[in-house]
Amino acid sequence: MRATYSLLLVSSGLRALAVSASIIKSLVIGSTNTTYPDTDSTRTAVAINGQFPGPVITGNVGDTFVINVFDDVPDDNLRLASTVVSLGTHLHWHGLFQTGTNEMDGVDRRSPSTTRTASSNPFTYRFIGNRAGTFWYYSENGTQSCDGIRGPAVVYDPNDPHRSLYDVDDETTIITLATWYQLNSPESPQSGSFNPTLINGKGRDSVAFGENLANELSVVSVEAGTRYRMRLISMSCDPYSMYTLYVHQMTIIEVEGTNVEPLVVDQIQISPGQRYSFVLNANQPVDNYWIRAFPGSTGTNTLPQASEHGLSQAILRYSGASLADPITTTTSPTLPLLETNLHPLKPTPVPGVLAVGGADSTLTLNLTSGEMVDFSANNVPYTALDVPILRRNRSDVTAAQELTSRGGAHEPRSNSVIDLVVPGASLAGQSVHLHGHNFWVIRSAGNSSYNWDNPIVRDVVSVGNDAMDNVTIRFETNRLLLDTGCQVDLNVDTGSDVVMAKSPAKLASDVNVKKCALILNVHLVVHHTSGP
């Protein structure tokens, strides 16, 4: 790989000066040998600028982001990371709406923003950071994200309504969670037999269950008496995580771009693709404390939930503490996060009639799996065509069913209210993500009642594991495309996509697809952790 550097132009630390800027970043996608985490063998990974996670991309709301992506992955190595070599890499900007820049959304085989060009000719993503919040980016092609193509992104708000609650909010307060595999992801069992959860790219091997203490863990450094805005991002490909900070409480203030009423918790269950900002008050005695992100307890391949040797853990280190592992033990949470307790800071009324069946239409997605590898929605596995959907849609397509090869498409009305219902499935834990849009969670996992009183507005929701779950989200449509499918897990190539096109004939008549208000994509993130 050529020697490279990244040029990042960001506004100064005086973010109160809200002046739009151009954020320019160069990303080089290339192969590398890595030993994440500490083992006796190496494996090939696909990294961005030679690092994992990829570089942090930051800017202010309203800034224009110009991301030049160079593809330096040899075909053989790319084949290890994806079953689709010829289509290259698509970077999706998770949580950014791409209003007016649909082709920059980077959805594999749905939008045409591929990087598979000569390494000297970058593909340039250009879009506006149209809302503040905590986001991330990753490859939408095959399972490349599981092999390293993923990184954090933050859009700051110079007028953050929660600004008085914290003292520090910068790159040092970003915390990423990611599963890691000893094998390249297509070679790993569909059961999700990952090794540890890496925190900020570091971890210890699960083979010895953390007993090899030589491997360095991530350290989050704090000063006693200082308040930090921590931005927690799950970039995992498989399970949800139970995130805790020993003897420290967390005050949640933002959920996936939505400012929320401050909520104090001591445990956060976070699913793949979800993000939370919380305030950490460094108010404990100077010492080292465990940061834990134990994987969800689903299936037979679950890793230990209570390792004191660093497995799926990092260190919260106060200034002046010794350079040593913490000696603290695990404790049971007393204030675990309940999604129903999250409410937007600015009340956002639920559209439609406030009752079950009060939407203009209801779509139910029943998730199924076959021999560990075949996934579908409503018994229709998704198979993409060679031509990206946006290009087909602006050519001669006039019906939604023409957008896919197996009929995995639907055509709800434009400018309407839609309820999307996902019953509890046999698969162990899933989450649903809407690209280019957010939604109201009117029924959360683990609840039998509906919430019409200022429910959380977000873009990723956990479906839950209970067969009695009937998670329901509500959103408003306009003239757009809606795509559902696995995206950040090992099931990305296995068929659980559904495409919905609003008024495809009208879209086809547009000379420029960018005239669409936005593209809406739903991705069913199926983190299947049971195994043979």
pLDDT 10s digits, 215-250: 789 999 999 999 999 999 999 877 788 999 999 999
Asked if 383 and 318 touch (Cβ cutoff 8 Å), the reply is no
Cis peptide before 295 (omega within 30 of 0): no
pLDDT at 115 over 80: no
Asked if 245 and 288 touch (Cβ cutoff 8 Å), the reply is no
* CATH superfamily, region 361-526: Cupredoxins -  blue copper proteins (2.60.40.420)
What SS3 state is found at 172?
Answer: helix
pLDDT of residue 219: 96
Radius of gyration, alpha carbons of the chain: 22
Tokens found for residue 420 = 């999307």
* Residues 306-321: tens digit of each pLDDT: 555 677 899 999 999 9
In the structure, what pLDDT confidence band is assigned to residue 136 with cuts at 50, 70 and 90? Answer: very high
More confident residue, 410 or 434: 434
SS3 content of the chain, % helix, strand, coil (to 5): 10, 35, 55
pLDDT of residue 145: 75
* CATH superfamily, region 171-341: Cupredoxins -  blue copper proteins (2.60.40.420)
In the structure, what pLDDT confidence band is assigned to residue 279 with cuts at 50, 70 and 90? Answer: very high
* Residues 254-269: tens digit of each pLDDT: 999 999 999 999 999 9
pLDDT at 500 over 50: no
In the structure, what pLDDT confidence band is assigned to residue 193 with cuts at 50, 70 and 90? Answer: low
More confident residue, 358 or 385: 358
Asked if 296 and 529 touch (Cβ cutoff 8 Å), the reply is yes
Q: How far is CA 148 from the centre of its chain?
A: 14
Query: According to CATH, where is 2.60.40.420 located in the chain?
Result: 22-157, 171-341, 361-526
Question: DSSP states of 233-301 as a string?
Answer: EE--SS--EEEEETT--EEEEEETTEEEEEEEESBEEE-TT-EEEEEEE--SPSSEEEEEEEEP--SSS
Asked if 520 and 437 touch (Cβ cutoff 8 Å), the reply is yes
Tokens found for residue 465 = 């594991």
Tokens found for residue 127 = 């879009």
Asked if 400 and 503 touch (Cβ cutoff 8 Å), the reply is no
Q: How far apart are CA 137 and CA 326, in angstroms?
A: 32
**Taking all residues of the chain, what is their mean pLDDT, rounded to a whole number?**
73
* Residues 503-528: tens digit of each pLDDT: 444 444 443 433 332 333 344 443 33
Look at the domain 22-157 and name its fold. Immunoglobulin-like (2.60.40)
Which of 123-132, 227-236, 324-333 bottoms out in mean pLDDT, i.e. has the lowest? 324-333
pLDDT at 97 over 60: yes
Q: What is the mean pLDDT of residues 6-24?
A: 45
pLDDT of residue 48: 86
Q: What is the pTM of this model?
A: 0.81
In the structure, what pLDDT confidence band is assigned to residue 76 with cuts at 50, 70 and 90? Answer: low
Q: How far apart are CA 281 and CA 168, in angstroms?
A: 11
User: What is Dmax (Cα atoms) for the chain?
Assistant: 67
pLDDT at 197 over 80: yes
More confident residue, 275 or 400: 275
pLDDT at 4 over 90: no
Q: How far apart are CA 40 and CA 63, in angstroms?
A: 45
In the structure, what pLDDT confidence band is assigned to residue 420 with cuts at 50, 70 and 90? Answer: confident
Tokens found for residue 352 = 């439609």
pLDDT of residue 364: 82
DSSP 315: E
Q: Which amino acid is at 265?
A: V
Q: Which amino acid is at 279?
A: V
